[in-house]
């Protein structure tokens, strides 16, 4: 584990390994709390009721936890306000193979539909820009938003991307759009999971 801090940051950003179970568990809680406030997650849960969405995210936590097996860039502010799990593509994920493996999945499974659409977006990014850093999970606890914590985590990620001369890619809702724009991201494409789902944006940031 290392602390990435610079002048003016309110909290050090911890960069830790996936075998650090304490920080993995605490960052998972941060991510779960952050994403249950999102419109896209509410859509996937089929409800706007907080208890239903909360249970959906709790059930989905196992899927989130599985992704830590491939994540090699994990971050969290020391006050547990914001966290991110990222991995390098294609080193950590054979993008095209994943897309093809999802082609036969049920069209009624919103999780599989979402993963198929998102993977096609990642594949497009790879084809256009080569190996990149993918931000799989990113979020700030709602009660601690607009205090700079998400920006601190994002800077830690993009600093590594710049050092490696790689693009950074993520799927964004309109709620996170302005934060990503401030950090140099641009919209690459709109991602439509279903006609009535909230629009998600495939956003990329070139290295600096």
What is the DSSP code string of 111-173?
A: HHHHHHHHHHHHHHHHHHH-SEEEEEEEEE-GGGTTSSHHHHHHHHHHHHHHHTT-EEEEEE-
Average pLDDT over residues 126-152: 93
pTM, two decimal places: 0.84
Query: CA 184, CA 178: separation in Å to the nearest integer?
Result: 10
- Residue 70 — pLDDT band, cuts 50, 70, 90? confident
- Residue 128 — pLDDT band, cuts 50, 70, 90? very high
Bigger pLDDT: 123 or 47?
A: 123
pLDDT at 39 over 50: yes
Average pLDDT over residues 15-26: 92
Q: Are 156 and 89 in contact (CB under 8 A)?
A: no
């Amino acid at each position: 584990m290392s602390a990435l801090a610079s002048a003016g940051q309110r909290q050090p950003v911890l960069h830790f390994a996936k075998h650090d179970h304490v920080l993995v568990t605490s960052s998972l809680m941060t991510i779960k709390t952050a994403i249950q406030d999102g419109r896209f997650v509410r859509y996937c849960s089929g409800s706007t009721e907080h208890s239903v969405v909360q249970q959906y995210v709790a059930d989905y936590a196992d899927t989130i936890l599985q992704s830590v097996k491939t994540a090699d860039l994990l971050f969290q502010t020391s006050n547990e306000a914001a966290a991110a799990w990222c991995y390098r593509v294609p080193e950590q994920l054979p993008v095209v193979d994943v897309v093809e493996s999802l082609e036969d999945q049920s069209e009624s499974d919103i999780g599989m539909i979402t993963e198929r659409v998102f993977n096609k977006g990642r594949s497009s990014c790879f084809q256009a820009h080569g190996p990149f850093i993918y931000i799989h999970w990113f979020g700030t606890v709602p009660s601690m938003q607009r205090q700079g914590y998400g920006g601190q985590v994002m800077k830690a990620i993009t600093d590594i991307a710049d050092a490696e001369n790689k693009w950074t890619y993520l799927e964004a809702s309109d709620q996170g759009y302005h934060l990503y724009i401030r950090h140099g991201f641009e919209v690459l494409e709109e991602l439509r999971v279903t006609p009535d789902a909230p629009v998600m944006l495939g956003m990329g940031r070139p290295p600096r």
